[in-house]
Amino acid sequence: MTAPTSSQLRPALLPRDNIRSVLAALIALLTIGGWVNALGKTPLRDALRAQTRLWWVEQIVALALALVCIGIIMRRRGFLEAAFWLTIYSTIFDVMRWIFEFIDGQLRIPVALILYLLFIWRLLLTRKQVDAGWERPAAEVPPG
């Protein structure tokens, strides 16, 4: 067998996008900061035992999203799809929470929801850029 003659098919790095990086950094910092705050204050830490399974699933998704956001900040292409889907899941959780709070008469500005929606928008733009820049390799005729 001979060594492949084609160059790398897909670039490992995402195109540079400062807005996407800032949004990813804000999401990661707010998520990790929220966990540090909850674990650092005794009343909040004691309330963790009473949380439902759904709340814990939401926290695991949020923590995974924070880690994937770090990969997006480092412009790693392999984190693009995971970031998109984890952000979709986090958006669903936040929309449901906002609806329930709105029904209870609490009106607040959902900062995390706004960040998630902006991040999804930038991830979609990045996905289009990556797909448009990818050249399919030409089919090679097998020897013989």
CA 97, CA 113: separation in Å to the nearest integer? 10
- Distant-in-sequence, close-in-space partners of 135: CB < 8 Å, separation ≥ 6: none
| Mean pLDDT calculated for residue range 125-137 | 77
Core vs surface per residue 25-47: b (16+ CB within 10 A) or e: ebbbeebbeeeeeeeeeeeeeee
Predicted TM-score of the model (pTM): 0.79
Instruction: Say whether pLDDT at 143 is over 60.
Output: yes
Tens of pLDDT, residue by residue over 32-88, are 998 888 788 777 777 778 888 888 888 899 999 999 999 999 999 999 999 999 999
CA 93, CA 104: separation in Å to the nearest integer? 17
Alpha helices by DSSP H, listed for the chain, are: 18-40, 42-46, 53-73, 80-103, 111-133
Task: Retrieve residue 135's tokens.
Answer: 């050249």
